[in-house]
Amino acid sequence: MTGRRADLGDEELLRAHVDGDPEAFAELVRRHQDRLWAVALRTLSDREEAADALQDALLSAHRAAARFRGDAAVTTWLHRIVINACLDRVRRRKSHPTVPLPDGGRDDDGVRGTEPAAPPVDHDTALVVRQALAELPAEQRAALILVDVQGYPVADAAVMLGVAEGTVKSRCARGRARLAGLLGHLRPQRANAQVAPPRAQVSSLTPRNPQRLDDVPSGSARGDGGKEER
């Protein structure tokens, strides 16, 4: 039965879940959880909060599945719910400082593996870039993470964020400009040395070993991912 589910498309799995298949949603999440986790972690810059936001989002998706109308791909719909859950948390904690990402390993929250990693040779720079990303406004950060880190086309990112493509482009441009100021100290003093522009530095954060969320929610949820970010 598991092999048969693996052959189903995303929409077919979602319909099977709505029709009462107890394992269909778990298969759907297993299929997309790596990228969902990476987006949550990059957006919140905190493993515990990212795990909680992802769990909330998956519970919301689990409950809201019957309302999916196929206006976008299932993976886009899932990303939108995860991003909304993360942005809700960012807004609630605005007055609190951001905690830097800890090293990989297993935490008590059930998340295993190493954090999305930058190339080892540039780990220090990658850490600084992550910290700079955390200082951006939440909307700019989310746009940059989707486009520059995760590599989604602007059109897909616009659907995930629930805004126009021009808004995504504008947020990315403003975010890169702010990063240029925040990361200016990385430029070497040697006249012939160069440092990668903000977009290339952010792109270097693309996860190579994304963490996985082992426990897929199977119960009811609250909400449907929150209001759309405009």
* Tens digits of residue pLDDT in 11-33: 999 999 999 999 999 999 999 99
Residue type, 171: R
What pLDDT is recorded for position 185? 67
pLDDT reported for residue 107: 43
Tell me, yes or no, whether 219 lies in a domain: no
The tokens 């189903």 sit on which residue? Answer: 8
In this structure, is residue 145 part of a structural domain? yes
Residue 228 belongs to some domain of the structure: no
Model pLDDT, residue 2: 53
What integer pLDDT is reported at residue 216 of this predicted model?
36
The pLDDT score that the predictor gives to residue 149 is 87
The low-confidence residues of the chain, meaning pLDDT below 50, are 1, 98-121, 189-195, 207-230
158 within a domain of the structure (yes/no): yes
pLDDT at 202: 63
Q: How far is CA 187 from CA 66, 148, 177, 181, in A?
A: 51, 20, 15, 11
Handedness of CA 118, 178, 166, 87 (dihedral sign): positive
Q: Is residue 25, in this structure, part of any structural domain at all?
A: yes
Tokens of 142: 């989310």
Q: Decide if 18 is inside a domain.
A: yes
Per the structure, how many domains does the chain have?
Answer: 1
The reported pLDDT for the residue numbered 10 is: 94
Range of the domain at 94: 2-213
Residue 52 inside a domain? The answer is yes
Q: HSE of 75 in the Cβ direction (CA atoms, 13 Å)?
A: 16
Q: Is residue 223 part of a domain?
A: no
Q: What CATH number does the domain containing 126 carry?
A: 1.10.1740.10
